[in-house]
Amino acid sequence: MTSQLVVPFQDIKAPCLSWAQDWLKTAKKSYVAGKFVSSGKTLHPSINPCNAKTLGHFVETTAAELDDAVSAARTAFTQASWKRMPRRQRAALLHSAGEAIRRHHVELATLEALDNGKLYREAFNDDIPEAADVFDYYAGWIDKFYSENCPVDPGFLNYTTRQPVGVCALVVPWNFPLLLACWKIATALSMGNTIIVKPSPFTPFSIIRLFEILQEEVEFPTGVINLVHGGTEIGALIAGHQSVDKISFTGSTAVGKKIVSGSAASNLKAVSLELGGKSPNIVFEDVPDLEFAIERSFQAMFSHKGEKCSEPTRLFLHQSIYDRFVQGLVTRADATICGDSFNPEATQGAQCHEEHFNKIMKYIDLGNKSGARLLAGGVRDTNGSNAAGYFVRPTIFGDVDNKSVIAQEEIFGPVLAITSFKTEEEVVAMANDSIYGLAAGLWTADISRAHRVAEELDAGSVFINKYGCYDFASPFGGFKQSGWGKEMAIHSLEAFTKVKSVWVKL
């Protein structure tokens, strides 16, 4: 069974594995004030989850290096060369960054697949092209983001200006390492901020390579872009830093809350949060194209091995189509080939790291104990050389109680929970019964019901008759404990600027 979303492997340029092996030989450093530096002593390994072997190392950033990065970013922010750079010149730098990513497409896709465990073709087709394009999208906004002339009482002119927030820390997770970093980097820079990027310690390499490429090929003024490495410790130092003006964070709800506390306890820095999800996908009895709905629901759930924040992990099926829909999903799950990122036969890669793999297996165990019916998967994939890696068979539970742990907690892996329903009212209540509100989907041929249910669903994005549509022009971000604020479109520009009101007595 071939997916509608996957481009045939032969259309993709071959990975550069021997280049990557060579590149990974040296321990990678932080990037501070235009130079790669490493005064720290702690070497941190990053593992290839397909075989659990060490890929390479990075040197953890010290507290002193973080201070240097913040002060370099502060100096660059206040310098005329960045702040008052003509807008078209800044736009040209962003376009050059996008072009540079395109020139290094294969290298970046190779590193992303090695470090994260996703399929090379997923990295090649999805992650890297979008990471390049987002620079063009925000370069285009630079001279189009207008301020207001406010209708105040006569005798005054009142207008607003949009100013960059300042020194912005961009903290990102491991599921789309380069792409999620580039969403933030492009937007922050387009508005004239300076940045400190912190990748996940599980997947640092594509972002490190990006910084090398930018150093060599794009002339950002010194100190505008900085890169630090580490996990909880350095993350907490960033959250509590007195001289960081903003944190744009993507990651778990638990860490998001820590960042809010760190900010509140230090300098009340601005915080925007893209957090976890447990998104419902509702299929009504009048679904327009059942086969398409099955295929798309499967892909939206299991591509990138189920490590997507907005994936539809709770599937609600009208009882009249339950059996047929489940059969279609189970057939696809059983046909899935787990395998190494570079195996052209593989249709699902490895979970990103061991701890995460163990967490997924724990949830599968809880699912089995919850009274739900295991319909597919539920086990580690140990086929051939997979035994050494962190592979989980696509797992489907039926007859799931929406109150149970597997329906309420974010698993962030290839584990789907299916529940049947009879009425619209009942299913909307179940869909909204979650601490999360990132995304939701619904399938129906009834246009009135489509809009009525879309209005009722408590989620930041609602997909009608095709789950999982994304575009830079459309805002992305969750309600409830899925986050604060939006990324993409004009909304992200608002998040990386502050509004000043200027009064003039006439």
**Residues contributing to the site for ligand NAD (CB under 6 A):** 171-175, 180, 198, 200-201, 231-232, 235-236, 239, 250-252, 255, 258-259, 274-277, 309, 410, 412, 438, 478, 483
Q: Given the residues 50, 168, 182, 309, select the one marked as catalytic.
A: 309
Q: Given the residues 112, 130, 274, 410, select the one marked as catalytic.
A: 274
Q: Which is nearer to ligand NAD, 309 or 440 (CB)?
A: 309
* Range 249-256, long-range pairs (CB < 8 A, 24+ positions): 249/171, 249/273, 249/274, 250/171, 250/172, 250/173, 250/180, 250/184, 250/274, 250/275, 250/309, 251/171, 251/172, 251/173, 251/275, 252/173, 252/276, 252/410, 253/410, 253/435, 253/436, 253/481, 253/482, 256/483
DSSP state of 48: E
Closest CB 277 distance from ligand NAD, rounded Å? 5
Q: Which is nearer to ligand NAD, 390 or 412 (CB)?
A: 412
- Nearest residue to the partner ligand NAD, using Cβ: 235
Closest CB 366 distance from ligand NAD, rounded Å? 18
* Residue 56 CA from chain centroid, whole number: 23
Which residues, listed in sequence order, are joined to residue 162 by a DSSP beta bridge? 499
Using CB atoms within 10 Å of the CB of residue 82, give its burial: 0 to 12 exposed, 13 to 18 middle, 19+ buried.
buried
Closest CB 221 distance from ligand NAD, rounded Å? 26
Is 274 annotated as catalytic? yes
Q: Which is nearer to ligand NAD, 133 or 285 (CB)?
A: 133
Containing 322, the helix (H) or strand (E) segment is: helix 322-335
CB atoms within 10 A of CB 133: 16
Q: Which is nearer to ligand NAD, 82 or 463 (CB)?
A: 463
Is 150 annotated as catalytic? no
Closest CB 438 distance from ligand NAD, rounded Å? 6
Indicate the angle between helix axes 177-190 and 87-103, nearest 10 degrees. 160
Closest CB 232 distance from ligand NAD, rounded Å? 4
Q: Which is nearer to ligand NAD, 226 or 420 (CB)?
A: 226
φ/ψ of 158, rounded to 5, equals: -130, 125
Positions annotated as catalytic residues are 274, 309
